[in-house]
Structures are given as C-alpha cells and as structure tokens.
Structure 1
Amino acid sequence: MPRLFTGLELPANTAFMLSMLRGGLKGARWIDPENYHITLRFIGDIDDRCADEIVSELDRIHRDPISVALDGLGSFGNGKPHALFARVKPVKELVELQAEQERVLQRIGLKPERRKYVPHVTLARLRGTSAHEAARWLSEHGDFQAPSFVAGRFVLFSAKATVGGGPYVVEEVYPLAA
C-alpha cells in the first residue's frame, strides 16, 4: 500500500537557504533538504486501484504556474511545539489549487482533510522541545525570507510509512500550464 500526498517541489537554491537554518535546537529532527516540499493534500495509505484512480483524476487539473514566496518561520503545536516550518504566502492560486485537489479526492471517495490548509515547508519535527526553546530559536531565525519562485508543476509523492520526513519519491508529475 503506498502512502501518497501531493505537493510542490522547491528549487535547489531555496532548499539550500532553508538548510542553512538547521541546528541549534534540542529535540529537533531536521528534514533533509532534498525532502523539502509544500504539501498540497495528504492522501495517506491507499491500495493500488485507488492510487491509479488518483493519478487519473489529478491529471484533469489544469492551472497556471504559481508564484511562491516563503516569508518567515513558525511552529505547530501551541504550548507543546511538534514541528518547525517556513511559512508560504497563501496566494489565491495556491489556495485554489489545493482546494481543487481536495474536491477531486473527495469525489473519488477519500475523506475530507480535517485541518485548515496552512501552506508551509516543514523544516524539523520536534520531540521534547519546550515552547521556550522553540520560541528562542524562532526569534533568532524568524525573519527568514527567500526569493520567490514559480512552481511550474505539482507532483504526487509517495513516502515510506515512517514517522515522516522522507525519503519521498516523485510518482507522477502534473504540469501547471492552463
């Protein structure tokens, strides 16, 4: 059973800039730069027949390329942080692409995503990191910005059933060129 999700890849120079943020935080398991991405829709563990249907349905999505900008850093987990991330500006085109994928996947029988979509690039997963330690790290690095880039495609990734963080494999590529 493959574990699938859709996302946008990052250019090498953006990934390199993000990788320079690694370190200096107890309890952080840093994501390898080659696995940085912007998740559009987590699909999960599915059977091969459903995977084939997903591949086919995603191929019907036709959108223009998307200008992507990373702007600042943050953490998920309120009082008990569990991940550090780079914020992605939620431009209209990105939000609409994600919403269309959500509709397509629900139409073929997948359950709706429960969480509100927050575009981001996960940098590290945290275990045993206090809110104070995470806040300190964010205050030292939080003004991060990277040059914007144009995403010319979205991809269907597969992942091993692990705690997260890769390695991820590009299974299908969908050009953004309406």
Structure 2
Amino acid sequence: MPRLFTAIEVPDEVGDALSTYRGGLSGARWIDVENYHITLRFLGDIDEETAHEAAYQLGTVRRAPFDVVIEGLDAFGGERPRALIARVAPSPAIMELQAEHERLIRRTGLPAEKRKFTPHVTLARLRDASPRGVAEYLGLRGGPPGLAFRAERFVIYSSRDSVGGGPYLVEAAYPLR
C-alpha cells in the first residue's frame, strides 16, 4: 500500500514563484515543483480498510475556503538542518482544518501525530548542509513577499517510497465549501 497523507495543494503560479529559490545551497535535494504541498496529516503505510475509513471520515469535513499566506523561508533542524521550507502563516482556518484532520484520522484507529503541526511547503531536503551555509542562504534570499493563494480544497495524496518524496498522486479530493 502506498503512503497516504492529507494536504493542501500549492497552485502552479505559487509553485513557480517558490521555484525561483531553487539552487545555491550545497547539500540540498530540491523537491519538484509539481510536488509542492502543505501536509495536514500523515497517515503512513496503512491497509486498504483503514484508508477507506479515513477517506469516509474526511468526507464529513465542512469548512469554508480560506487564504493561505507564505510568510518567508526557513529551515527545520536547527544545528542539523534537514529541510528548507516556505513558512505558511498559521491562520485559524488552516490550524482548525489540521486539528479536524487529526481528530478524524484518530477515529480510524491510527495513533496521534507526534510532531506539532507547523504549516509549510518543503522546498528541499537537506543532507550534509552546514548550518552556516543554510543561514547564509536564508539571509541572502529573505523570502517570498506577498505570496498567497486561496485554498479551495484538500486532498489525500499517495506517494511511493522514493528519494525526496514524490511523485504524489491525488487519491481523493474534498472541496472546501
């Protein structure tokens, strides 16, 4: 069974703008632009019955579309940077949607997510990138000012085990209404 996760898709024009930050960082494995997304809840490698139950539960979500704002560039990992990201403003709408996904997915019997939700778009996975190199990269680039889009739906993505993630396939889509 492929790995499953719920996410908000990043529109092409926003992905294109974020792709201009590719390059110039040693140790970065850049994510393909078509795979940019904001993960809401990781489900993992689950059996078909649990996947169907998760899809059913997520179908009960009733939320209005909302604006997603990219705040800037950052990195996860501190002294051992592991990912270069575009930070997403933690608006009440995205935080509440993610919390609802967490509750619904736990109803299927899956364990609670261990990590605190930090909305972001992963731009690159970092391997052997120096903290200094990452800090210099971030200092020179600042971030994408005024980059935003309207989230009109969320999806369940599947992914195959691969280096750097992707390709991701939409298994189910749920409109925000």
**TM bucket, shorter chain:** over 0.9
TM-score normalised per structure 1 = 0.97
Q: Output the amino acid matched with 2:156.
A: L
Q: Match for residue 141 of structure 1?
A: 141
Q: Match for residue 27 of structure 2?
A: 27
Shift of residue 141 of structure 1?
A: 1.2
Shift of residue 148 of structure 1?
A: 1.7
Shift of residue 139 of structure 1?
A: 0.5
Q: Match for residue 16 of structure 1?
A: 16
* C-alpha RMSD of the superposition: 0.9
Partner SS, residue 170 of structure 2: strand
The Cα offsets for residues 38-89 of structure 1, whole Å up to 9 and x where unpaired, read as: 0100110001111111111110111000110001110000101000000000
Number of equivalenced pairs: 177
* Partners of 1:80 and 1:17 in 2: CA distance: 27
Structure 1 stretches of 5 or more lacking a match?
Answer: none
Q: Output the amino acid matched with 1:13.
A: E
Q: Match for residue 48 of structure 1?
A: 48
Structure 2 stretches of 5 or more lacking a match?
Answer: none
* Partners of 1:165 and 1:129 in 2: CA distance: 18
Q: Match for residue 162 of structure 1?
A: 162
TM-score normalised per structure 2 = 0.97
Identity of aligned residues (%): 53
Shift of residue 2 of structure 1?
A: 2.0
* Partners of 1:166 and 1:57 in 2: CA distance: 25
4+ aligned runs moved over 4 Å, structure 1: none
Q: Match for residue 116 of structure 2?
A: 116
With over 3 angstroms needed to count, the CA separation of the structure-2 counterparts of 1:57 and 1:41, relative to structure 1, is same
Q: Output the amino acid matched with 1:23.
A: G
Alignment check: 8 A CA contact 2:153 2:173 kept: yes
Partner SS, residue 148 of structure 1: strand
Shift of residue 107 of structure 1?
A: 1.4
* Partners of 1:138 and 1:154 in 2: CA distance: 29
